[in-house]
Structure 1
Amino acid sequence: MEDSEELQNLEQELQWLLEEQVQKNLAEIHGTLLECSRRFPYRMGFDDRTVVKPQRNLLSNPSNTGQVKCVVTLMGDSLCDADISFRHTGKSGKDNHIFKTKIGPDGRWNLQQVQDAANHLGEALAIFHCHGSDHQYKSAKEVLMVLEDLLKLLTSGRTCLSFPKRKSIEELVKNSSMQHFQPPVPNDVAVSFYVHSSKLILAIYHLHHTASYIDIVSRHQVECTVQWLNEAVVLFTLAMQQCQQLYDKIRAVQLSNPQTS
């Protein structure tokens, strides 16, 4: 008798969650994702009210000791109007001078990380677009499947920004964006712009070429904090927490009552 009453109570709790809480919680998650989308400075097809504008950034590093200087304009997922100078030593080891180069208005350095993060966010928003705001969820399984899809996409999106993939020397050297520098960068130097959470980073690699391999002799970097990147990472994290809280709530009731689905 007690077991029967307990099962009935669990079924009622689940029904209450499905009818009263799921849509409310999902609406909060959707709102967080829309806020996140506004941190990306181009239309994503769902909400074009961006809070981001192109901005000129000075990249610096207290321990850089003048090895690298850079001023660049960040426009969403690309960089333009970059002015870079770095200390360069010639093959003889004696020709130590400041090399200056730039990316002009017609050139672009694409930040694939930002584009990938926006794509994952767009896919997450598309889930809400497909289901609609008045969709009535009939089972715990249905809600959990939606939340699992959202969590995968949001985790991937945040990872794109927070954990940049390590590039091989070959990838650095063969990056097509290197062609946008005028004058061209010396062939014993590789340049890399990338995002790490809230920071935009420029790394300069000095290379040593041999007949069989390329070795990195030294690496110097400068960086700056980009507010909208920081806000995007925070909002990705908040949406993930909101998804996980609802998932745990539904899952706990489901596990307590094996008859629910």
Structure 2
Amino acid sequence: MATAMAATAAERAVLEEEFRWLLHDEVHAVLRQLQDILKEASLRFTLPCSGTGTEGSAKQENFILGSCSTDQVKGVLTLQGDALSQAIQDARNHVSQAIYLLANRDESYQFRTGAEVLKLMDAVMLQLTRARNRLTTPATLTLPEIAASGLTRMFAPALPSDLLVNVYINLNKLCLTVYQLHALQPNSTKNFRPAGGAVLHSPGAMFEWGSQRLEVSHVHKVECVIPWLNDALVFFTVSLQLCQQLKDKISVFSSYWSYRPF
């Protein structure tokens, strides 16, 4: 009995020493690694300066857009600066918040319990998940919301008045959807039913804009891969995996001391 108790005490001492090393050394090593990865991810959301002209001017990016289902619609879209500011800025803000949470625990900070580490990892993972979701889940918009967004008016030369355009990010792709419209006559026998919110509206969708009732007659969608968005998504995935791995290690130790707040 005494031998068994001694073995248990020795085992506990080894585990406690390993856990102290985890809290004092490995946790900070993971935090440093996460900060390095997320700083690289943050840089992907800033277009480089052109290096000429006025200071702070943004470099143009040209995107060759095409359809995977047909060769009828192709085009080149030139973005001056960040024309998709909301989705990209939201994602970057979440990344910046995650970096702040990590940097707030510098090398001199001593974690006392596993629960403290778990709380930090949960907070960081929440920000990273929100950043990733902002890119992977396009906003659902009604046709009037698209019309009011001003995206159609940003094109030069101006688009015909019977076209409505939506530009959005989906995963690592820049997507452009063109809706061709026709006006419903006041004496039309069609049952007018305004379409709700959607990422992609189908032909036959109806909406009211100003004093007109309009219907979508044709829909064309083109897209292209943006390499730096692909990089950002990879960084998010790797960072989330690192956070989960650290949480798993903490959980292994907590199973040995279920009565202690690890």
The answer for the alignment partner of 2:134 in structure 1 is 160
Match of 2:76 among 67, 70, 77: 70
Q: Quick one: which amino acid aligns to residue 111 of structure 2?
A: Y
Q: 2-side partners of 1:207 and 1:231: how far apart?
A: 37
The answer for the alignment partner of 1:172 in structure 2 is 146
Give 1:69 shift. Answer: 2.6
After alignment, is 131-140 or 227-236 more displaced?
A: 131-140
| Percentage identity across paired residues of the two chains | 30
SS at match of 1:138: coil
Q: 2-side partners of 1:234 and 1:224: how far apart?
A: 18
Give 1:144 shift. Answer: 0.7
After alignment, is 18-27 or 33-42 more displaced?
A: 33-42
The answer for the alignment partner of 1:36 in structure 2 is 41
Question: CA 1:35–1:182 in 2, change beyond 3 Å: closer, same or farther?
Answer: closer
Q: 2-side partners of 1:121 and 1:204: how far apart?
A: 32
Question: CA 1:238–1:74 in 2, change beyond 3 Å: closer, same or farther?
Answer: farther
Match of 1:26 among 23, 26, 31: 31
Question: CA 1:217–1:3 in 2, change beyond 3 Å: closer, same or farther?
Answer: farther
Give 1:67 shift. Answer: 3.6
Q: 1-side partners of 2:19 and 2:164: how far apart?
A: 57
Give 1:8 shift. Answer: 4.1
Structure 2's unaligned 5+ residue stretches are 49-57, 185-191, 195-205, 207-214
Match of 1:118 among 92, 100, 121: 92
After alignment, is 62-71 or 195-204 more displaced?
A: 62-71
Give 1:188 shift. Answer: 4.1
Give 1:182 shift. Answer: 5.0
Q: 1-side partners of 2:168 and 2:140: how far apart?
A: 10
The answer for the alignment partner of 1:57 in structure 2 is 63
Query: Is contact 2:162–2:181 with CA below 8 Å preserved after alignment?
Result: yes
The answer for the alignment partner of 2:199 in structure 1 is none
Question: CA 1:54–1:247 in 2, change beyond 3 Å: closer, same or farther?
Answer: farther
Q: 2-side partners of 1:130 and 1:71: how far apart?
A: 41
Question: CA 1:165–1:5 in 2, change beyond 3 Å: closer, same or farther?
Answer: farther
Q: 1-side partners of 2:221 and 2:162: how far apart?
A: 16
The answer for the alignment partner of 1:46 in structure 2 is none
The answer for the alignment partner of 2:55 in structure 1 is none
Q: 1-side partners of 2:243 and 2:80: how far apart?
A: 31
The answer for the alignment partner of 1:11 in structure 2 is 16
The answer for the alignment partner of 1:220 in structure 2 is 220
| TM-score computed with the length of structure 2 as normaliser | 0.74
Query: Is contact 2:47–2:59 with CA below 8 Å preserved after alignment?
Result: no
* Structure number with larger C-alpha Rg: 2
Q: 1-side partners of 2:246 and 2:216: how far apart?
A: 48
1:244-259 alignment to 2 at 5 Å? 244-258=244-258, 259=260
Q: 1-side partners of 2:261 and 2:140: how far apart?
A: 45
Question: How many residues are treated as equivalent by the alignment?
Answer: 221
Question: Is the strand fraction higher in 1 or 2?
Answer: 1
Structure 1's unaligned 5+ residue stretches are 44-51, 79-109
Q: Quick one: which amino acid aligns to residue 165 of structure 1?
A: A
Give 1:57 shift. Answer: 1.8
- 2:143 is the counterpart of 1:137: no
Query: Is contact 1:111–1:194 with CA below 8 Å preserved after alignment?
Result: no
The answer for the alignment partner of 2:175 in structure 1 is 201
Give 1:184 shift. Answer: 4.9
SS at match of 1:192: strand
Question: CA 1:149–1:226 in 2, change beyond 3 Å: closer, same or farther?
Answer: same
Q: 2-side partners of 1:256 and 1:7: how far apart?
A: 9
Query: Is contact 2:66–2:73 with CA below 8 Å preserved after alignment?
Result: no
Question: CA 1:16–1:255 in 2, change beyond 3 Å: closer, same or farther?
Answer: same
Give 1:71 shift. Answer: 2.5
